[in-house]
Copies of this chain bind each other. A is one copy, B any other.
Amino acid sequence: MQKTRSFWGWGWQEELPSGEERDRLTGLLGAFFADHPPRPTPYPALEAIELPEPAVAVPAEFADFCDAGAFERAAHTYGKNYRDLVRGFQGDFAAAPDFVAFPRDEDDIARLLKWAAREDVAVVPYGGGTSVVSGVECGRDEATRHVTLDLARMDRVLDVDPVSSAARIQAGARGPVLQEQLAEYGFTFRHYPQSFELSTLGGWIATRAGGHYATLYTHMDDFVESVRMVTPAGEVVSRRLPGSGAGPSPDRLMLGSEGIFGVITEAWIRVQRPPVYRARASVKFAEFDQAVEATRALAQSGLYPSNCRLLDATEALINEVSGDFRQVLLLAFESHDHALQPWMERALAIVREHGGRVSSGPEYSDGTDEGGSGEGAQWREAFFRAPYRQSALVSLGMIADTFETAVTWDQFAELDRVLRERVQAAMNEHCGTGLLSCRFTHVYPDGPAPYYTLIAPGREGELLEQWYAIKQVASDTLIEYGATITHHHAVGKVHRPWYERQRPALFGQVLRAIKAELDPAAVLNPNVLIRRDGGA
């Protein structure tokens, strides 16, 4: 069955929670927030929404690959953060693009960029549309005319080099699409952001996506051998290399550029042999502090587990990973080359020294099963389901959001304490109550990448104000306590005010100077990462 993308919510329309699942969620929330029960409202219908008149028509020369229909315009209006879901759910599509381009090749892109520069039309590069930072949105107040450039048609694996374990892949390939093509060559990507089903290679590069591995290869940055990017000034094509010391890395300038310099069209990527050997275990801790110390010891051990995800007790509970209000550490090693008993045994010795109790496993396999059982499998299911649930929560009148960061170990305890205190206080003040949980998505020898989830009851007509009040408190605290405004969700427009406080002041001018060189007419993704007006 051909599935249809939701024009307002996460992912595939057919996968949005409905019937029993939505009822169950409603019941659960009713139990959590007895004084502020959820208010179920039906999902919106495309027919009922109003779109602004297009300010610019599809030029005849681009008619072959552009679409100005209501569905595509609506579906490309926003990314998928909380504000986007609320606006989409409420039928506010004022920021809809004038049309959507689906280029077939680099030439289509170059021609479109040339036209846009000449006609002063803003261009928003678009991969999976899963941005949670308003990275693919352009308001009418930001550009009177804008076009969204969706890479969906450029989704092929063009070349595989089995000797070097690398593949040349087009930027528009979604996770499952590139995975399927790689499998034919006996390779796999091993990069599973939560958006895996929908997001694309180009988006992962443009936003420095975080993925599967909890250690070592945490970001897309670590997999990129070379990049092709079409800018209004011409192509930037970096050389395919396993490593280099020749000047500042050009790839690292494209990684994280969020569509403001050019459109990433393809990349050579380091790919993996599918794991054969796996070792899995879950460990429970009575205290969060204890669990953090154990995780730090693992991160500094040189064992490099592929999974080292610490869930605090609330996180474990709401994801139905553990019902006994314990912190759960999900631990896994994987290899295509060797059995992993010595790795896992040492890792479990470390966690036991720190008061952990092994609650599941160690389980070893030398087959090719993806799943496993126990807490890890339950987590994986909840993990990929979570964004669909967030859309459902919006339809229940809830505030539901996540924020993530990274900070050095010496700062973490204090940051976490203050964050919980202030964000809880903000939820209490603005929503009457709320729930905040924390997990580590990735860990480094010098610090964790904590990821917070918050749920609070919203008030009709005030959702966005309530949400932003809480978001501000969380973001201010991250910056104040030495953390990053984002570890792998990117900056976009939502995080920009805090990014401006985080980045070196002069680096803002550097980014503007680069943009002036590559996108002199400043048509690409206005106000993402840097302000169009050139403000501080």
Contact = CB atoms under 8 A, between A and B. Distances in A.
A491 B248 CA distance: 10
Contact of A499 (B208, B234, B247, B449): B247
A409 B163 contact: yes
Nearest to A257: B248
B245 A219 contact: yes
Query: How many copies altogether?
Result: 2
Nearest to A262: B506
B246 A486 contact: yes
B447 A243 contact: yes
Contact of A302 (B252, B337, B444): B337
A347 to B, nearest CB: 9
B503 A407 contact: no
Contact of A518 (B218, B447, B485, B506): B506
A250 B338 contact: no
B243 A219 contact: yes
Q: What's the interface size class on A, roughly?
A: 35 or more
A233 B513 CA distance: 14
B246 A165 contact: no
B165 A445 contact: yes
Interface in A203-260: 207-210, 216, 218-219, 221, 225, 231, 233-250, 252-258
A4 interface: no
Most buried by B among A161, A247, A336: A247
Interface string A455-498: 00000000000000000000000000011111111110001000
Contact of A487 (B163, B245, B254, B490): B245
A233 B337 contact: no
Given A302-B336, A338-B303, A511 B406 contact: no
A386 interface: no
A114 to B, nearest CB: 16
Given A246-B499, A249-B256, A342-B342, 16 more contacts: A164-B445, A164-B447, A165-B300, A233-B509, A239-B503, A242-B446, A245-B484, A246-B484, A246-B502, A247-B503, A248-B257, A250-B510, A270-B446, A273-B300, A303-B337, A514-B514
8 contacts: A208-B245, A233-B506, A233-B509, A239-B502, A241-B484, A246-B484, A302-B336, A506-B518
